[in-house]
Amino acid sequence: MTGRIANVSIVLLLLATGPAMAQNRGTKKEQDACQADVFRVCDEAVPDEKKIVDCLNRKLPELSAACQRLIEPDPKKRTKEF
């Protein structure tokens, strides 16, 4: 399990610094919120980075508001208020 958490942490770090992210790179708190969502919603995708990112984007409505804020920078496209 520790290896899986490390893999998810790496993916979330890449999400927060990758070119797909807009101006909001995500705070540590937001990244932590996404880690919980990854295990709750996209557990089957771990540890594959591309599959995790695809899953998070595909399942945006199921993510917490904090994670949606990190994954979808456009507030109009989010399904929850932060």
Mean pLDDT for 8-37 is 63
The answer to whether position 78 is within a domain reads no
The answer to whether position 20 is within a domain reads yes
Spatial contact of 21 and 15, defined as CB atoms under 8 Å apart = yes
pLDDT per residue as tens digits for the range 36-47:
999 999 999 998
Does the CA dihedral 70-54-39-60 come out positive or negative?
Answer: positive
Task: Show the domain range for 19.
Answer: 2-73
Q: How many domains does the chain have?
A: 1
The answer to whether position 7 is within a domain reads yes
The answer to whether position 81 is within a domain reads no
The answer to whether position 47 is within a domain reads yes
pLDDT per residue as tens digits for the range 39-76:
999 999 998 888 998 999 999 999 999 899 888 889 99
The answer to whether position 58 is within a domain reads yes
Q: Is the confidence at residue 82, as pLDDT, over 80?
A: no
The answer to whether position 34 is within a domain reads yes
pLDDT of residue 42: 94
Distance CA 76, CA 24 (A): 15
pLDDT of residue 19: 43
